[in-house]
Amino acid sequence: MKPMGRNNFDSVRKSGNVRSVAAGRQSVKGTVINMEERTYKIMGGSGALNLAFGVVIMVVGIAGGVLLLISGAKLLAGRNKILF
């Protein structure tokens, strides 16, 4: 049973297969994973997606507001034409 509070890299670090975990670069048996570059790309994609959704929601909101204004103006103008 593993002691509490240990991370998964303890056994790998002891064997010498991971070289620089603190720097964000993990090298396990020759493969290098650049975590900073991966984070940078994910943040870029997420930012672009947020901008696209923001523009779409703003256009839908403005169009809905304009339609509500037009229908409200028509209702107010047409209330004089009602015969009881």
Higher-pLDDT residue of 34, 70: 70
Quote the CA–CA distance of 46 and 15 in Å, as a whole number.
37
What pTM was estimated for this model as a whole?
A: 0.53
Higher-pLDDT residue of 14, 45: 45
Three-state secondary structure call for residue 83: coil
pLDDT value at 47 more than 80: yes
Q: What is the pLDDT of residue 78?
A: 92
Higher-pLDDT residue of 73, 2: 73
Residue with tokens 């509500």: 68
**Residue 19 contacts by C-beta under 8 Å, 6 or more apart in sequence?**
25, 26, 27
Find out whether 9 and 28 touch, Cβ atoms under 8 Å: no
Question: In which band, very low, low, confident or very high, does the pLDDT at 50 lie, cut at 50, 70 and 90?
Answer: very high
Q: What is the pLDDT of residue 2?
A: 53
